[in-house]
Structure 1
Amino acid sequence: MSQSSHDRLTRRLFLGSAAATFAAPALAQNAGTTEFRPEVSNVIRRNASSFRMLDWQPYFDSLRGGAILVDITSRALHFWNEDESVYKLYPTSVPETDDLTRKGRTEVIRKVEGPSWAPTPAMKERNPEWPDFIGPGPDNPLGTHALYLSWQYYRIHGTQDTRKIGRRSSNGCIGLYNNHIEELYGLAGAGTQVLLI
């Protein structure tokens, strides 16, 4: 192959791959809209954040009362209702360090809309400057809704600080966007089984 033929071939490959790269987002959009909607494969189902959709069977004996699975590693919360007609997958914040992380089985024992917050004794020891109490409202670290677990001081709750979601940023609880915890609050009830892995 001559040098000029090689240069033309290389240029064609570059231009072709560049066009494909810039066209890919447009191809992934639905016709008539500018909203990006990721395609869902039948082989590997993933949402836009690359969290894997999971089946409940490896983790729970049944869906009696519904089930919540929190995967600390992928920072995702999975919810299945009792008759399997609802499956939800939410991004979460998780504990900052392994020593703040609790894993195992628990359950939802109480639901509170507009929760108040008080630091645990361990939090206050680590952060003595923190206030002793914050009532419901925009400054509350628990967000708009909270699911209280049978483990003392542990909650699945909202957050006003959306930068925390997807990060190791909590003092032990599992945080969700406020709109996601509001939805989960409506789906889960007292007795919903919870597993943190």
Structure 2
Amino acid sequence: MDDDKVKRRGVLGLIASGVAALALPLRGRATTWGPGDWPAHFATLSAGAILIDSRGGRLHFWAADGVGYHEFPCRLPQAADLRRRGRTEVVRKLVGPTWRPTPAMFAADPALPRRVSAGPDNPFGSHALCLGWRGYRIHGAPEEPGAALHGGLGCYGLSNAEVAALFREVGIGTPVQVI
């Protein structure tokens, strides 16, 4: 075999293995979305848009002006059967929401309080964006930054600081897509 052919095959082999090596860390990870990626999921930004990437545990928000973009780590619903996918919208905004456990929560732990008003011990945190799906919210959490990310039954959680920032920018009717 000719020396040039051996060198070419060697170089092509190195290139192929380099490309494969670059792809390895991406296996099993979610697609990364960015400021210009909203058209892949929304027809317009007239009311802003929220995309929750349940595979990557990220919430993406695009402002109605098309310029503002924020990305947050997002706690996902704990139970796999409650991880809905699809489209909904923000139907209500609450400052200092009251938390009430569901009947299923009481069955699992009868010692739970009947309600927790606004304050540092409230599982909903400081703010909540109620979604069109009954019982689903994007809300804050009383945990400290860096705490393990986990969600409620049908909720998507952000830190209190993050949900407060999002709350200021999101309006009623903002479309939400969970993928």
TM normalised by structure 2 equals 0.76
- Report the counterpart of residue 62 of structure 2 in structure 1: 80
Q: Secondary structure at the match of 2:41?
A: coil
- Report the counterpart of residue 26 of structure 2 in structure 1: none
CA–CA distance in 2 between the matches of 1:70 and 1:121? Answer: 27
- Report the counterpart of residue 78 of structure 2 in structure 1: 96
Between the two proteins, what is the percent identity of the paired residues?
A: 43
Aligned-pair CA distance for 1:63: 1.2
**Structure 2 segments unaligned to the other structure (5+ residues):** 1-29
Q: Once the two structures are superposed, what CA deviation does each residue of 1:26-69 show, in whole Å capped at 9, x if it has no partner?
A: xxxxxxxxxxxxxxxxxxxxxxxx98333111111111211000
- Report the counterpart of residue 131 of structure 2 in structure 1: 149
Paired residue type of 2:46: R
Q: Once the two structures are superposed, what CA deviation does each residue of 1:79-111 show, in whole Å capped at 9, x if it has no partner?
A: 001121100000011112311212111110111
CA–CA distance in 2 between the matches of 1:182 and 1:61? Answer: 26
Q: Secondary structure at the match of 1:95?
A: coil
- Map 1:126-165 to 2 at 5 A: 126-162=108-144
- Report the counterpart of residue 115 of structure 1 in structure 2: 97
**Over the residues paired in the alignment, what is the CA RMSD in angstroms?**
2.0
Indicate conservation of the 8 Å contact 1:110/1:148, yes or no: yes
Paired residue type of 2:71: L
Paired residue type of 1:58: A
- Report the counterpart of residue 33 of structure 2 in structure 1: 53
Indicate conservation of the 8 Å contact 1:92/1:165, yes or no: no
Aligned-pair CA distance for 1:151: 1.1
- Report the counterpart of residue 42 of structure 1 in structure 2: none
**Equivalent residue in structure 1 for 2:45, among 63, 83, 92:** 63
Paired residue type of 1:52: T
Q: Once the two structures are superposed, what CA deviation does each residue of 1:8-42 show, in whole Å capped at 9, x if it has no partner?
A: xxxxxxxxxxxxxxxxxxxxxxxxxxxxxxxxxxx
Aligned-pair CA distance for 1:114: 0.9
- Report the counterpart of residue 17 of structure 1 in structure 2: none
Higher alpha-carbon deviation: 99-108 or 67-76:
99-108
**Structure 1 segments unaligned to the other structure (5+ residues):** 1-49
Aligned-pair CA distance for 1:164: 8.2
- Report the counterpart of residue 163 of structure 2 in structure 1: 181
CA–CA distance in 1 between the matches of 2:94 and 2:151? Answer: 22
The verdict on how the C-alpha distance between 1:166 and 1:175 changes in structure 2, with shifts beyond 3 A counting, is: same
Paired residue type of 1:129: A
Indicate conservation of the 8 Å contact 2:145/2:159, yes or no: no
Q: Secondary structure at the match of 1:60?
A: coil
CA–CA distance in 2 between the matches of 1:122 and 1:56? Answer: 37
Q: Confirm whether residue 191 of structure 1 aligns to residue 177 of structure 2.
A: no
- Map 1:2-81 to 2 at 5 A: 52-54=32-34, 55-81=37-63
